[in-house]
Amino acid sequence: MRKDKWIPYGLVAPYILHFAVFVAFPVVFSVVLTFHRWNIISPMEFIGLDNYVRLFKDRLFWQAIYNTLRFLVVHIPLQIVVALALAELLNRTVRGASFFRAAFFLPVIVSGVVVTILWQQLLGYNLGLLNRLLTAVSLPRVAWLDDPDIAMYSIAVMATWKNVGLYVILFLVGLQTVPAQYYEAADLEGATDWQKFRYITLPMINPTIFTVVVLSTIGGFSLFIEPYIMTEGGPLNSTLSAVMYIYQQAFQYYHMGYSATLGFFFALLILGVVMLQRRYIEQEN
């Protein structure tokens, strides 16, 4: 029996080792790094709170946060509205439902690299599909990716197109948990479609909405490959994302300490925002 006692520890040993190397150490080391200047090659130099001071004065740090917020302001509502609308349409459809589901889901499984290259063509100024549609109805062309006031919103729409299929499925699962009797009872009371949606459907799918909000927020702060390929953070840093800025500081300038400080603060920000969202949603219920 003595030998048996060690079996569970043997089974979880790979996990513990992996956790120590790839989770525990990086978390601790990232805090250490925030107090140092380091280019990886020369020895680490302790600089106290300099990285923190620099961070709060760093225009690009605030710009990255501002850009992320601009992304989320479009991305989150658009995602919820489109996903909910498509899920509602699918929920009542029987014939062909699996085809539509599969079509909506296609961009979800494909690499963001592919989607970005594709949308770069759709959003092209001269030959892009969108501008051709606009000129066809004699509207002026839009500089989707070259106008600093528009570029981030274009990326937000693209990201919605890529992810929305997943949320359609999540909403469908949510909609199917609403008992049919609720609607029947509402019908007897003479409720309108909007009332049924507002007072029955919406409260029941609130947890799904929360999931969409949280996943989208994390996604917004993790945005990288889309601006990296499409705009390289431009024009005028208007699409510089949090992860892109971390990447630039670390791998273009080799400011490992400062880059870790950025990562640390963005992580805190994400956790903070998600906690606020959770509190807000719980209050709503």
Partner 1 sequence: MLRYLLLTLAAASFLYPFIWMVSASLSSENGLSSLTLLPVEPTWSNYVNMFSKIPLGRAFLNSVLVAVVTTGLVLVSGAMAGYALARMRFRGRNLIFYLIIFTMTLPMQITLIPNYISMVKLGWVDTYFALIMPFVLNSLSILLFRQAFMGLPQALIDAARLDGCGELRIIFQILLPNILPTVLTITILTFMGLWNEALWPLIVIRDEPTMTMPQLVTLFSVGGRAEAQLGVKIAAAVMLALPIVVLYLFFQRHFIRSMASSGLKD
14 near partner 1 (CB under 8 A): yes
- 3-state DSSP call for residue 189? coil
137 near partner 1 (CB under 8 A): no
Residues numbered 167-196 forming contacts with partner 1, rule: CB under 8 A = 167, 169-170, 173
CA dist 281 and 100 (Å) reads 31
Among the candidate windows 48-56, 71-79, 140-148, 213-221, which touches partner 1 by CB under 8 A?
213-221
Instruction: Write 109-115 long-range contacts (CB < 8 A, 24+).
Output: 110/162, 112/162, 112/225, 112/226, 113/225, 113/229, 115/158, 115/161, 115/162, 115/226
Residue 105 in contact with residue 169, Cβ under 8 Å?
yes
Among the candidate windows 20-28, 62-70, 137-145, 196-204, which touches partner 1 by CB under 8 A?
20-28
83 near partner 1 (CB under 8 A): no
93 near partner 1 (CB under 8 A): yes
Residues numbered 40-59 forming contacts with partner 1, rule: CB under 8 A = 40
CA dist 87 and 109 (Å) reads 19
Q: Quote the least distance from Cβ 181 to partner 1, whole Å.
A: 24
Among the candidate windows 61-69, 72-80, 127-135, 144-152, which touches partner 1 by CB under 8 A?
127-135
* Sequence-distant (≥ 6) Cβ neighbours of residue 166 within 8 angstroms: 105, 108
277 near partner 1 (CB under 8 A): no
61 near partner 1 (CB under 8 A): no
117 near partner 1 (CB under 8 A): yes
227 near partner 1 (CB under 8 A): no
* Sequence-distant (≥ 6) Cβ neighbours of residue 161 within 8 angstroms: 107, 115, 119
Residue 281 in contact with residue 210, Cβ under 8 Å?
yes
Residue 107 in contact with residue 166, Cβ under 8 Å?
no
Q: Which is nearer to partner 1, 105 or 183 (CB)?
A: 105
Residues numbered 238-257 forming contacts with partner 1, rule: CB under 8 A = 242-243, 246-247, 250-251, 256
